[in-house]
Amino acid sequence: MTGLARAQYWPHPAVTEVVENALLSVESAVAEWARENGPGDAPAAADRP
């Protein structure tokens, strides 16, 4: 574990694309939720009893 913290680490070039696609999916899910529930309500507030 110490070697990982001190050594140079080169992530796979596809990691940035995976992260980008994940963020785009989250953005799409939030937009869909807002269309269905209204932009003024946060998901946490909507789930409270």
Which has more pLDDT, 11 or 25? Answer: 25
- Tokens for 46, please give them: 């909507």
Query: What CA–CA distance (Å, rounded) separates 22 from 38?
Result: 23
Query: What CA–CA distance (Å, rounded) separates 9 from 28?
Result: 31
Which has more pLDDT, 39 or 17? Answer: 17
Query: What CA–CA distance (Å, rounded) separates 38 from 42?
Result: 9
CA torsion angle 38 42 47 49 (round to 10): -90
- Average pLDDT of 17-41? 88
Q: Residue with structure tokens 């963020």?
A: 23
Structural domain boundaries of the chain? 10-47
pLDDT grade for 27, boundaries at 50, 70 and 90? very high
